[in-house]
Amino acid sequence: MSSVALRKAAPAAGTTPGTVQGPPRRRRIALVPTVTLLLGALYCLLPVAWVVVASTKSGRELFSTFTFLPGTGFADNVKDLSAYRGGVYWKWMGNSALYAGLGALLSTAVSAVSGYALAIYRFRGRETIFNILLAGVLMPPVILAVPQYLLLAKVDLTDTYASVLLPLILSPYGVYLARIYTAAAVPSDVVEAGRMDSASEWRIFSRIALPMMIPGLVTVFLFQFVAIWNNFLLPYIMLSDDEKFPITLGLFTLLEQGSNTPVLYTLVITGALLAVVPLIALFLVIQRFWSLDLLSGAVKS
Amino acid sequence: MPFTLRRRLRPAAATAVAVALGASTLAACGSSDDDSEEAQSGPVSLTYWTWAPGMDKVADIWNKGPGKKAQIKVVVKKQASGDTLVTKILTAAKAGKAPDLVQAEYQALATLVSNDVLADISGEVEGVDKEFAPGIWQQVTLGSDAVYAIPQDSAPMAFYYREDLFKKYGLEVPKTWDEFAETARQLKKKDPGKDLTTFSANDSGLFAGLAQQAGAKWWTVDGDKWKVGIDDAATQKVADFWGGLVEEDAIDNQPMYTPAWNKALNTGKQIAWVSAVWAPGTLTTAAPDTKGKWAMAPLPQWTEGESVTGSWGGSTIAVTNDSKNKAAAAKFSTWLNTDPEALAALVKEGGIYPAATAAQTGDALSQAPEFFSNQPDFYTEAAEIAKNTAPAAWGPNVNVAYTTFKDAFGKAAKNKSDFGAALTTMQDATVADLKKQGFEVAE
């Protein structure tokens, strides 16, 4: 949501200096938020810049040259990283993509169906269910990891891909978001009209409501994707086979190799940099669905 | 005997469970003959959690050679090292899913035993104790007749210094801690911008090793009760010594293993490091520009003429109670840590310093680490130092003591205040936690 606001604000801020008739007083007012935002951006981007620069340094240069002086070892770092234990890094990357992609997709599907049901249908206990969900939103997933492990151990599912995927499918936050969004975006008149035309409930949901819900679901998908991509504790407890590790866990094993071996800082830094690339790409691609959000709003009114 | 130790190590509140578990262990012991027969008749697959690099290659040697003959296959699952792995093992054991074999640091053994995770393999490893120094072996028996693990690597502590800079400033390699303090002061006089070394409040293991050298016994068993001696006279001596040096600014007070520390070593701002036998590996990444300029010497002593050292790190390979093939697992662990071929592979692939005494002077370690090419007899000296490794006394809540160390000593080092008070905090927190866990503690 905040991104939407940002997008709307951006052109406005950009045009202000360009407009001829804009009085200088207005520009001075805009200065404070601009500077604040710039400082905020700097605060967020500086560590990223550090990772970018550090990933170009060879092991020898890493701690000895000036922090923001680019090094000469990027290609070698990537090569070393790819060669580490027979390319297990790319396996981790693939695993992360699977966990985050499939996990987010499944969880979005579940959120869509349950959010729709909670928003459209009136049934006994609806508010109770919703309140329990709200409590679930407040519950950090971290504290659930160990109980989930013990439960999955009972059905012999630990150390499998399913052990990481299953607990992620039901996301209270996703359901909550889907309900709120559906309530706002799908007018009950539309549902009623569908019923009048004797469309089945499933048809109403899949053909009429779902397209209206897409922008909200994209948000759910994105949140879930990022959350799973960055998830650490759940896979850490569930998995013991490093061929199934997601990237967060893989990088952790690179860092913690015991005191006998030199720490693979350069590999970890390069690995961390490459690990955020898919996230950035995803945001860039999916942004246009958020623009759709604005469009569909216009059509409705 | 292991039966009583198990009881002693468990929280008093859980004694009933312990008895039950003890009984089941005895039952398992009785049928162990059947187990080994089974292991011989059918192929067995063992999972093995380890963090040591290259361990899959060492396991391959086993799987293709002795393991093939015995029909015991080992599958390596690489893990991240440290306290987090202990937590993961405890969680897995709670679900009955612990792997057959786990790598565990010496100080984690008591925690794992008191949670009933590790199997007593004394019946399977008779005579193996002779392969190790008594101070090392004592740590895997926890001072009892049981054997809970086979030592893999040891980490005798030593004093590392910049040979060239010591010469430049006319410093002598300190033989006692008094001389060490004097050396630090001399260096400050000659060049106030330099430090001999730093006191790192981040590295509990270093402090524990220094205390061991002074003769400290942090956890001991007194009848049915635990006795915590973290603030004993020996440790107090060590704490006061380092606290004094920090207070008079003779050494730095910043933590180790930070980029700033790397830089200080690389540029020669810090010219010595109290560390362990694995230091060359760390220095290779931390201070790449100083290759060939360092030398190793025995740790300074508290009493002149002695040659005692402590340990900083080191680990063992243990068999868990969840394993269905304990005899096979013990067989592999013994092979891995005592067989010459396995030890040579461990040194080559994993870069470890083997705990087995024969290997410390063997062919695998005949060449000095590349970073210390200027000291060709590096490993001969290391083996000499390792001979007198002080025994360590670990208890079931080392993690709590270590965390409190970081907090209390971190504050004391930063404020350059009394280290003795920090030590008392550490003692109190450790005792309180033991009691909270339900152990009986002797006052």
Distance from CA of B53 to the nearest CA of A (A): 7
**Residue A140 domain-assigned?**
yes
Model confidence over B358-416: pLDDT tens digits? Answer: 888 888 888 888 899 999 999 999 999 998 889 888 999 998 999 999 999 999 999 99
Chain B residues with beta carbon closer than 8 angstroms to that of A68: none
Helix ranges (DSSP H) in chain A: 2-18, 24-54, 59-62, 74-83, 88-120, 126-138, 145-154, 161-169, 172-185, 188-196, 201-203, 210-230, 233-238, 247-255, 265-300
Please, what is the angle between helix B32-41 and helix B15-30, to 10°?
50
Quote the minimal CA–CA distance from B78 to chain A in Å.
6
pLDDT digits (tens, 9 = 90+) for B410-441: 999 999 999 999 999 999 999 999 999 989 99
* Position A130 in a domain: yes
Name the residue among B47, B263, B352 with its Cβ closest to that of A260. Answer: B352
Mean per-residue pLDDT for B160-179? 95
* Contact check, Cβ <8 Å, A60/B288: yes
Strands B315-319 and B101-105: antiparallel
For range A41-67, the mean pLDDT: 85
* CATH number of the domain encompassing residue A223: 1.10.3720.10
In chain A, the number of structural domains is 1
Weakest mean pLDDT among A265-274, B13-22, B197-206:
B13-22
Alpha carbon of B126: minimum distance to chain A alpha carbons (Å): 29
Write out pLDDT tens, residues B206-249. Answer: 999 999 999 999 999 888 889 999 999 999 999 999 999 999 99
Confidence bin at A296 (pLDDT 50/70/90): low
Backbone angles phi, psi at A187, to 5 degrees: -70, 140
Residue in B108, B35, B32, B123 with CA at minimum distance from that of residue B317: B108
* pLDDT, averaged across chain A: 83
Min Cα distance A263 → chain B (Å) is 7
Q: Domain residues for A98? A: 82-300
Residue A290 is predicted with a pLDDT of 65
Which residues in chain B have their CB less than 8 angstroms from residue A154's CB? 95
What residue type is assigned to position B427 of the chain? Q
Task: Look at domain B157-311+392-442 and name its CATH class.
Answer: alpha beta
State the DSSP H helix or E strand holding residue B49, giving kind and residue range, or none if neither: strand B44-50
User: Quick one: B427 exposed, middle or buried, by C-beta within 10 A (0-12, 13-18, 19+)?
Assistant: buried
pTM above 0.90, yes or no: no
Summarised one tens digit per residue, pLDDT across range A226-248 is 999 999 999 999 999 989 999 99
Any domain includes A214: yes
Q: Do domains B2-148+315-354 and B157-311+392-442 have the same CATH topology?
A: yes
**C-alpha dihedral (B164, B169, B170, B173), degrees to nearest 10:** -60
Q: What is the pLDDT of residue B10?
A: 58
Per-domain residue ranges of chain B: 2-148+315-354, 157-311+392-442
Interchain proximity B289–A259, CB inside 8 Å: no
CB interface of A with B, residues 145-184, below 8 Å:
146, 149-150, 153-154, 158
Topology given in CATH for the domain delimited by B2-148+315-354: D-Maltodextrin-Binding Protein; domain 2 (3.40.190)
Within a domain: residue A45?
no
Chain A, residues 28-87, CB within 8 A of chain B, namely 59-60, 63-64, 85
In this structure, what token pair is assigned to residue B190?
Answer: 């000659």
- Neighbouring residues of A292: CB distance < 8 A, sequence distance ≥ 6: A214, A215
CB contact under 8 A, A257 and B51: yes
pLDDT of residue A76: 87
- For residue range A104-125, list pLDDT tens digits in order: 999 999 999 999 999 999 999 9
Whole-angstrom distance, CA of residue B207 vs CA of residue B379? 24
Q: What are the pLDDT digits (tens) for A216-229?
A: 999 899 999 999 99
**Cα gap B99→B50, rounded to integer Å:** 10
- A148: Cβ–Cβ under 8 A, 6 or more apart, which residues? A167, A234, A238
pLDDT at position B379 is 93
In b/e form, how buried is each residue of B366-403, taking b as 16+ CB within 10 angstroms?
A: eebbebbeebeebbebbbebbebbbbbbbbbbbbbbbb
Q: Do B77 and A242 touch (CB under 8 A)?
A: yes
Q: Write out pLDDT tens, residues B49-101.
A: 999 888 999 999 999 999 999 999 999 999 988 888 999 999 999 999 999 99
